[in-house]
Amino acid sequence: MATKMTIQWNHDGFEALLCDEGTMQLVRQQAERICDAANANNDRGGDGFDQGTRLGRAYGSQRALGFVYSTDQNSALAESEDKALSRAVSG
């Protein structure tokens, strides 16, 4: 006979995990990987792409966020016309 199980979500604990330094390091590593791949895809020269991490709100919770961005007009064109960053994210 099956027993009914109740699970109680620990929201505070989960949010603490999302902000943990270990989680931040994993997010930073992924942002670096994507940034490196985007720069490898950039045939237009210039300063290329850069990356960063920070704590911020997303999906209603405080969490580690990673981002990669173009640093100049050449890298912006590499994304808009050649999809240098988009290919890095999907690959």
Q: What is the pLDDT along the chain (91 residues), one digit of tens a residue?
A: 788 999 999 989 999 999 999 999 999 999 999 999 999 999 999 999 999 999 999 988 899 999 999 999 999 999 999 999 999 998 7
- DSSP letter at 20? S
Q: Which domain holds residue 44?
A: 31-90
**Residue 44, in any domain of the structure:** yes
Q: What is the tally of structural domains in the chain?
A: 1
**Residue 55, in any domain of the structure:** yes
Instruction: Find out whether 24 and 64 touch, Cβ atoms under 8 Å.
Output: yes
Query: Is the pTM value of this prediction over 0.75?
Result: yes
**Residue 53, in any domain of the structure:** yes
**Residue 47, in any domain of the structure:** yes
**Residue 11, in any domain of the structure:** no
**Residue 51, in any domain of the structure:** yes
**Residue 73, in any domain of the structure:** yes
**Residue 19, in any domain of the structure:** no
> What's the confidence (pLDDT) of residue 41?
96
